[in-house]
Structure formats: structure tokens, C-alpha cells
Amino acid sequence: MSLIEWNKKKVILFDLDGTLTDPGVGITNSVMYALEKYGIIVSDRSELYKFIGPPLMQSFENYYGFDKNEAERAVSLYREYFRDRGIFENQVYDGIKQLLGTLKAKGKVVGLATSKPEVYAKQILEHFELDGDFDFISGSMMSGERTDKGEVIAWAVQLLGEKQKQKYTAEEMVMIGDREHDVIGARKNRITSIGVLYGYGSREELTEAGADAVVSSVGELAEMLTGEAAGEVSL
């Protein structure tokens, strides 16, 4: 897809973790806290980066063999640490604030589509003063519902229809994310996707999942979405 075609996208959906912000410290600290309650000590933080992106229940089950009850308790323990400390052990990637501002100035509709619980996502956007750049937020529920990225994106599309007077087609939308779940979720909703490599997913993961494009930096992403060189969007 050419630069001009990407630039024509009217609705931009962003993942949160690994796409807008780098949550590595907060998420891994929260996972370490939960695992320690099960007597599992992880000394190498990088081993837990695989938790960034996928639904937590799924990660505890897949990576540590927890059954459903164990995984549910692990998620609860994770949240004990995350809600007070881990949530803000986080930082916005350089250039993101400027990119969001440029998109809004160009009249784009900007939404958040994250597997993180909505209540946490809203807190994070408010903390980093990004909330004003978003027209709507779609996330999972604390009850464990709507954690699949396809469901999250489907809810985002529904919110878009409710909050915007103008109707948009799937062809006018694009999903931006750093993991295969973002790409697969977009495909389930017949939406194109751009994978970012500055987060936690690899080029191989994103391309095998079917990403329509892959970018290495926020500046490259900005150029695709705005049609302007990185310097022109103040990155």
C-alpha cells in the first residue's frame, strides 16, 4: 500500500502497550510479584516481555502451565501491584504526543483499542496527558470479558459508530500495534494493520500474522499516516 493510500485512512486505532507507551518495567514487575506468590522467581526481566500484549489469563496459562483457577488468581495478584505502582512504571515513546496532535489537526478520528482493562487504559492516558487526543477508548473488562483483540477492535468499531455522526467503512480504518494479536484482531474485523518494531514484537511475528505494513520507528509511522516527513510533524 502506497504512502498516499495510508494517508487517506480516516480512522486510526492504536494499541497501547508497546505502541504508545513502553510499559516494560511496570508489567514485568507486576508479573514478578504474582509469580513470587507461587514460589516462582524470575531474575531476568526480559523473560517476561512476552506478557506485554497478550491477555494476561492466556499468558499465565501458556507460559507457566497454570490452570484456569491459578491463572485467575495470578491476574488478581498482578493487579495488586499494577493498580498502585506498576501502572505508572511506564513512559510514552518519543514522538507519540506530536503524532497524535498532528492526526487530530488533520481531522482524523483516533481511537484506542487495547486488551488492557479500560479503567487502567483511561488512567494511563490521563496520567500522560494523552486522553485529549482520543475520540474513544475500547479495552477489556475487569471481569475478564472482551480480552480477545478481535473483540476489542469490534467494540471500538461499535463505539465509533455511536460517537461519530459520519459512518466509516472498514477500508477507511487502520489498526496500529506491536504484536501479532493486534494484526490478527484487525484481520478478524477486515481492517488493515501496521505493525511497529519499536515495541515488543518482531518483524517475523508481525509479518507472519499478516500485517499490511511494518515500520521501525515512530517517525516512519508518522510519515505513513500523515504524508509528512518526520521533521514536519515535530518528532
Distance of CA 162 to the CA centre of its chain: 22
- Side-chain half-sphere of 49: how many Cα atoms within 13 Å? 13
Q: CA angle at residue 90 from 63 to 139, to 5 degrees? A: 65
The CA distance from 146 to 30, in Å, is: 21
Check if the beta carbon of residue 120 is closer than 8 Å to that of residue 146. Answer: no
Clarify whether 178 is annotated catalytic. no
- Please report, for residues 82, 104, 143, 211, the alpha-carbon distance to residue 116 in angstroms, rounded to integers and kept in the order given: 11, 24, 12, 21
> How far apart are alpha carbons 77 and 38 in whole angstroms?
10
Relative to beta strand 213-215, strand 91-92 is unpaired
Catalytic residue among 15, 133, 148, 182: 15
**Catalytically annotated residues:** 15
